[in-house]
Amino acid sequence: MFVNFCRMLLLVVCVYGAVSTAQAPSNSQPAVSTQPANNSQPSEAAITQIRKSVVFIKLSCTEGGQLWDVKGTGFLVGYPEPRISDKSSFTYLVTNRHVALCWNDSGHPMAVKSVSLLFNLNVEDGGTFVKEVVLNQNGSIPWVLPEDESVDLAVIPMGINPQLLDIKLVPMRFFATKDVLEQNHIHEGEPIFFTGFFYQFPGTKKISPIVRQGIIAMMPDEKIPFVGTHERLYLADVHAFGGNSGAPAFINLGGFHNGGLMVGQEYRLIGVVNGEMTEDENFNLELTTTIKGKARANSGISTIVPVDELKTLLDGPSLGKLRDQAVMLYQNSQGQK
């Protein structure tokens, strides 16, 4: 299935393709700013790099004879592969389950008719730097989903051509997993930001992700009710809206933590934006997805799937088996045993 899927791509290639797709070039990873942390604002250099990890996802879905154009965000993660070289990595496109499966407002999948991605090119082509890559014009694509259906994530193996695409990867070493947060004494009130699809103005000559900043509002140990299921989520006091689903959210480990100061700015991926909390005229709150805009007031509270869930999915047996197969193909092509 994945081999057939690869043949449909124009500028991106699955890990079964050329040897270079298993190797992440040095310029495909975002830099981390080492400027002094004299305030809580993300540095321009780091944000510029992080914004380049984002791609825009467009889906055409149907339900009850009605056609829906759905927008979401995705980003690219680099998974290290030392069996090839110490600089090699596999690339994965990450988004939410509810984006990949095109959920309706009740949390049920709609019929996906087509899926495409919007990337930026390194070189202008026909007056624009934007390239739309159709992943499938006849239905969905073979997303890899968590075994736990309550985890709102989806990934697919994907390589990139760095000569064509202006794109960066988020390496797994930048993951702010629970143990990293505990070691750095990260808690509620810490600054957080995300970058994602602003479909009201996505950009004309280039795709232009929006950046929103706020603070961590709650890091509960219990699961939170979310669109028909209970999920482990962080809550953030940061405004998310339609198209932001799947956006990467980052936290700065630099600055003051637990009475100490870490000089510099070290941004880590804390999770994936997947929803917003809306309120009605009676100030009742409801969690909903952020793939479509709502005609209800946005409370300013957003939900984030912890990056630990993404690490579990990437480390899991489904993707592990695909990596084993790809490494074997690569080694055979190089005459290695």
Report, as an integer, the average pLDDT of 197-207: 79
Residue 36 predicted with pLDDT over 50: no
CA 54 to chain centre: 7
Please check whether residue 158 lies inside any domain of the structure: yes
Please check whether residue 336 lies inside any domain of the structure: no
C-alpha to C-alpha distance for 50 and 118, rounded to whole angstroms: 16
pTM: 0.83
Amino acid letter, residue 263: V
Please check whether residue 193 lies inside any domain of the structure: yes
Q: How confident is the model at residue 28 (pLDDT cuts 50, 70, 90)?
A: very low
Residue 16 predicted with pLDDT over 50: no
Q: Which domain holds residue 301?
A: 2-330
Please check whether residue 335 lies inside any domain of the structure: no
CA 101 to chain centre: 15
CB distance 87 to 24 below 8 Å: yes
C-alpha to C-alpha distance for 243 and 228, rounded to whole angstroms: 20
pLDDT in tens, 86-119: 888 999 999 999 999 998 877 889 999 999 999 9
CATH of the domain at 230: 2.40.10.120
Q: For residues 16 and 183, which has the higher predicted lDDT (pLDDT)?
A: 183
Q: How long is the chain?
A: 337
Residue 281 predicted with pLDDT over 50: no
Dihedral of alpha carbons 174, 180, 184, 188, sign? positive
Helices (H), 176-223: 178-183
The single-letter DSSP state of residue 315 is H
Count: domains in the chain: 1
Please check whether residue 337 lies inside any domain of the structure: no
pLDDT in tens, 203-233: 778 888 999 999 999 999 889 877 677 889 9
Residue 303 has what pLDDT? 92
Q: Which of 178, 179, 185, 188 is nearest to 260 (CA)?
A: 185
CB distance 55 to 105 below 8 Å: no
